[in-house]
A and B are shown apart, each in its own frame.
Chain A
Amino acid sequence: MQVNSKVINQTLYLSILGELDEHSAQYIRGELDQKLLNNFYRQVVLDLSGLKFMDSTGIGVLIGRYKKAREKNAPMFISNPTSHIDKILKMTAVYDIMPKIN
């Protein structure tokens, strides 16, 4: 698993690659937090196109990062989830706080 980041026009793009479950949660949480802390941005886009698997442990990780970004007044958005992850995000109402964008 891996987390990549880039900043374009004050938007922080974070992409999570691999699988997000209890085993990888701690590592991915740390990587995301480091990038949220060390960059300047006005909004955050989580690119999930490279995330092959996620269960409800991942929901906790995403909501936790949303709160960190909110502390910096930066809204967070989700882009390109696979259909399976899209289903989990819809079911758990995550899009209410982190809207999906194209």
Chain B
Amino acid sequence: MKFLNQMTLKFDSLSVNEAFARSAVSAFCVQLNPTLDEITDIKTAISEAVTNCVVHAYPNEVGTVEIFVGLTKDCVFVSVKDNGVGIVDLNQAREPFFTTKPDEERAGMGFTVMESFMDSVELLHNKNGGVEVKMTKKIKENKLMAKKEQNV
């Protein structure tokens, strides 16, 4: 896909980096003039995907998380990739309330939240082991901005 603008982030799978990742991605998306709701949806989805890397992909070690963000004029494409332990059954992992760590008060709602807040969510086995989550979010045209530009 051809993007108007793109960026890649690589960081350690430390929980302290979750806030950094969601803030950095949302700051990058601001150039599309998203609404506050759209930005918060993206932020939350990123937080879910990165949490999965921190908690599940690298349970006993610190690994690398790679986020790619590509922008078209009205769509955000995001990929969150790890080289961790991987997921055996990708479909089961997406089921609401499914968790491999019920004793840790995990809700098992991460993928459900991603699916609800984004327009598409794809879960793939990564070539080098681990998984990749690909998500898209359409950014509706900012009516107010468009109108203002017309008037100018």
Contacts and interface: CB of A to CB of B under 8 A. Distances in A.
Q: Do A and B bind each other?
A: yes
Nearest to B50: A22
B29 to A, nearest CB: 16
B51 to A, nearest CB: 5
A74 interface: no
Interface string B107-139: 101101100100000000000000000000000
Nearest to A90: B116
Given A21-B18, A23-B18, A88-B113, A55 B44 contact: yes
A56 B113 CA distance: 7
A83 interface: yes
A63 B105 contact: yes
Interface residues of B, number: 24
Contacts, number: 62
Contacts of B16: 23
A25 to B, nearest CB: 8
A61 B23 CA distance: 22
A40 interface: no
A55 B105 CA distance: 14
B78 interface: no
Contact of B112 (A53, A60, A63, A92): A92
Interface in B62-121: 104-107, 109-110, 112-113, 116
A35 B29 CA distance: 39
Interface of A: 19, 21-23, 29, 53, 55-57, 59-61, 63-64, 83-84, 87-88, 91-92
- Report the 7 A-B pairs with minimum CB-CB distance, sorted nearest first: A23-B15, A59-B107, A60-B105, A56-B109, A64-B105, A55-B47, A60-B107
Given A29-B105, A60-B107, 14 more contacts: A21-B18, A21-B47, A21-B51, A23-B16, A53-B43, A55-B48, A55-B51, A57-B107, A59-B109, A64-B105, A84-B40, A87-B116, A91-B116, A92-B109
25 contacts: A19-B19, A21-B15, A21-B51, A23-B19, A53-B22, A53-B43, A55-B44, A55-B48, A55-B51, A56-B110, A56-B112, A57-B51, A57-B107, A59-B107, A60-B104, A60-B105, A60-B106, A84-B37, A84-B40, A84-B44, A87-B116, A88-B44, A88-B113, A92-B107, A92-B112
